[in-house]
Amino acid sequence: MNSKDLIRSTLNFLHLDITKNLEYDRLTKLIMKIVINRDSNCIDVGCHKGEILDSMIRLSPGGRHFGFEPIPPLFNQLKTKYENKATIYPFALSDRNGTSTFQFVRNAPAYSGIIKRKYDIEVPDIEEINVELKTLDEVIPQDTKIDFIKIDVEGGEFGVLKGAKQLLKASKPVIVFECGLGASDFYGTEPADLYSFITIEVGLKISLLKSFIQASSPLTIQEYKMYFNSGKEYYFIAHP
């Protein structure tokens, strides 16, 4: 673990949310402790270095775990790290199968994604690579019930969800996902469409992370649109 990761882990442990992202990391891990059992099957979309996948494996040693990371150096590290612990795929998930260019932000890999977007760094060093696109409905075996999914794909989350429609309808998993202006809009995502897909087509509710933990009421479509468009919150949870 490098010094930056150690600081992040320490702040999470001490519940010191000095940034919004640190707060979301902490809340995501708390939600995972609530909803993941020892034999839960989990999916980490946008695995990066595997911090969330580590928690999935620790909380569910008897479950099956799947990770997706299309950036070649990160995929290679993950493949070695999780040998015999999780199945790691080099695919970018979408609502179709095929190939695509992919924007690898070399000096900030966590910002990488299929489409170029706004980045919170002054001079992004972008290498355009080619990746294979897959849908979750094709990759995950139909007889595997999925209990928890984390999606962090810098704007492409609606495509990931649409490509998993049959899986989501059959399993009704808990899904923590990032979504909002500055990323999702570059993919043409309309908040009303995403809300309708999750609530009507899949049959799940949408809440803020804190609200789910506190067992508060789920978001209405008007509330979800407000958070999406204002950027006041950009992490959400879909749940039964």
9-18 tens-digit pLDDT: 444 444 445 6
pLDDT at 178: 95
CB 207 within 8 A of CB 236: yes
Class of domain 3-239: alpha beta
User: Once rounded to an integer, what is the mean pLDDT over residues 25-50?
Assistant: 97
DSSP 163-178: TTHHHHHHH--EEEEE
pLDDT at 2: 47
pLDDT at 118: 83
CB 47 within 8 A of CB 74: yes
Cβ partners under 8 Å of residue 108, min gap 6 = 119, 121, 124
128-156 tens-digit pLDDT: 999 999 999 999 999 999 999 999 999 99
| pLDDT value at 192 more than 80 | yes
Supply the DSSP symbol for 198: I
pLDDT at 119: 86
C-alpha span between 225 and 207 (Å, rounded):
12
CB 227 within 8 A of CB 198: no
C-alpha span between 167 and 146 (Å, rounded):
8
57-110 tens-digit pLDDT: 999 999 999 999 999 999 999 999 999 999 999 999 999 999 999 999 999 999
CB 208 within 8 A of CB 224: no
User: What pairing do the DSSP bridges indicate for beta strands 87-89 and 65-68?
Assistant: parallel
| pLDDT value at 27 more than 60 | yes
Structure token pair of residue 191:
């908040």
Decide: helix, strand or coil at residue 114: coil
C-alpha span between 69 and 92 (Å, rounded):
7
Q: Which residues are paired to 45 by β-bridges?
A: 68, 151
Q: What percentage of the chain has pLDDT greater than the value 70?
A: 92
pLDDT at 18: 62
Dihedral angle of Cα 38, 9, 103, 141, to the nearest 10 degrees: 0
User: Once rounded to an integer, what is the mean pLDDT over residues 1-24?
Assistant: 58
- The pLDDT mean for the chain works out to 93
C-alpha span between 157 and 151 (Å, rounded):
7
Decide: helix, strand or coil at residue 89: strand
Q: What is the number of other CB atoms lying within 10 angstroms of the CB of residue 58?
A: 11
The domain segmentation of the chain, as residue ranges, is: 3-239
pLDDT at 209: 98
